[in-house]
Structure 1
Amino acid sequence: MGKKTIHVSDFTGTVLQQDDEVVRVVVLEHPDLVAGPVQLDATPGEVENIDDAALDVAVVEIHDRHGGGEPRRVVLTASEFDAMATDVPMAQLLKTAERVRPPKARKSAEKIDYGTLEHAGKPHRGRVTEEEARLVREQLDEVNKLLADAGVRQIDPSDPEHALRYGFSEVS
């Protein structure tokens, strides 16, 4: 038995031929995006006018007591933001404003324990421990649900690479 993969445009459902150019569109932020960035496939013609539709925006963070210690991110048109500066033009204000330093990187990253249900099956470069493999085999549905919720690939026991990595029995 063979498998045939058909690629379609996520925007229009148009079947993409093997020699068609495919444009990858990564959605970083959207009101309906709940589990992090996603990737969509399109044809060049479907996205050729995307730059014309782009808005000049200002993305700001509001650090106040209403955020519970976390800043609120707000996106507004650049002209709306510019209108907030009534004493000095916004362009001049931005040139002379105090620079924000990026937060210092952590000295040592926290080590992730892939032998827990929370992290089992997530892609990583290290070797799979017996504990992680056991969790994946015994709780595959729950692991795949957590992986889907995190927006990463799910584990398919019939995939030879996954079968070998997590110790699934050979599929006939």
Structure 2
Amino acid sequence: MGKKTIRVSDFSGTVLRPDDEAVRVVVLEHPDLVAGPVQLDATPTEIENIDDAALDVAVVEIHDQHGGGEPRRVVLTASEFDAMATDMPMAQLLKTAERVRPPKARRGPEKIDYGTIEHAGKPHRGRVTEDEALLVRERLDEVNKRLADAGLRQIDPADPEHAERYGFPVAS
């Protein structure tokens, strides 16, 4: 038994033949959209006038007490927004307004604190802090169990390298 897939336009329900071109439309924002972006299939003719129907809009964030301190995003027509500027034209106001700097991008993963029981003793290139060494010495069984469960090498106080790294007494 085989399966047959039939593509259908989400807009009109029109069945698309295998050689028909389908257009993917991703809906990013809509008042009825509740769980994030969705995609719809359409025929090119169904969306050919979409650019003509597009509105000139202004999308703004309002930072005030409403919404528990979170900014509100508001979409309004550009002409409605432009009318709010009464001292000078909005175009001039936007050219001279203070720039908003985007938040700094994070520089990779968060730094791991090896001075906590969760990470103490894990292999790493950095220097072992006194906090990490103390945790390893005082709670060696717990640290080694966690390392073994994670498939990592365990710490052996008799190993001269481990003894030096974590401050175990060196056997003479």
Q: Say whether the fold is shared (TM-score over 0.5).
A: yes
> Shift of the alpha carbon at 1:106?
2.4
Aligned length: 110
The equivalent of 2:145 in structure 1 is: none
Change (3 A) 1:100 1:27: same
1:48-59 matched pairs, under 5 angstroms: 48-59=48-59
1:93-135 CA distance string (max 9 Å, x none): 001111111111223457xxxxxxxxxxxxxxxxxxxxxxxxx
Partner letter of residue 19 of structure 1?
A: D
Aligned pairs for 1:156-171 (under 5 A) are none
Structure 1 unmatched ranges of 5 or more: 111-172
Q: Structure 1 residue 38 and structure 2 residue 32: aligned?
A: no
Choose 1 or 2 for highest CA Rg.
2
- In structure 1, C-alpha distance between the alignment counterparts of 2:56 and 2:20, rounded to whole Å: 32
Q: How does 1:112-151 map to 2 (within 5 A)?
A: none
Once the two structures are superposed, residues 62-81 of structure 1 have per-residue CA deviations (whole angstroms, 9 ceiling, x without a partner) of: 00111212100000000000
CA distance in 1, matches of 2:56, 2:100: 22
SS in structure 1 at match of 2:91: helix
1:25 aligns to what? 25
For residue 12 of structure 1, what is the aligned residue in structure 2?
Answer: 12
1:84 lines up with 2:84 in the alignment: yes
For residues 19 and 12 of structure 2, the distance between their equivalents in structure 1, rounded to whole angstroms, comes to: 18
Change (3 A) 1:26 1:109: farther
Q: Matches of 1:91 and 1:69 in 2, distance apart?
A: 29
Q: Provide the residue aligned with 1:62 in structure 2.
A: 62
Distance 1:88 1:46, change over 3 A: same
Structure 2: distance between partners of 1:109 and 1:10: 41
Distance in 1, matches of 2:73 and 2:25, equals: 23
2:95 corresponds to: 95
Which residue number corresponds to residue 170 of structure 1?
A: none
Percent sequence identity over matched residues?
89
Give the root-mean-square deviation of aligned CA atoms.
1.1
- Indicate the SS of the match to 1:39: strand
**Residue in 2 aligned with 1:74?**
74
Mark the CA change 1:31 to 1:4 in structure 2 (over 3 Å): closer, same or farther.
same
Higher RCO (CA < 8 A, seq sep 6+):
1
Partner SS, residue 65 of structure 1: coil
Relative to structure 1, is the Cα distance of residues 99 and 68 closer, same or farther in structure 2, using a 3 angstrom cutoff? same
What TM-score results when the alignment is normalised by the length of structure 2?
Answer: 0.62
Q: What are the ranges of 5 or more consecutive residues in structure 2 without an aligned counterpart? A: 111-172
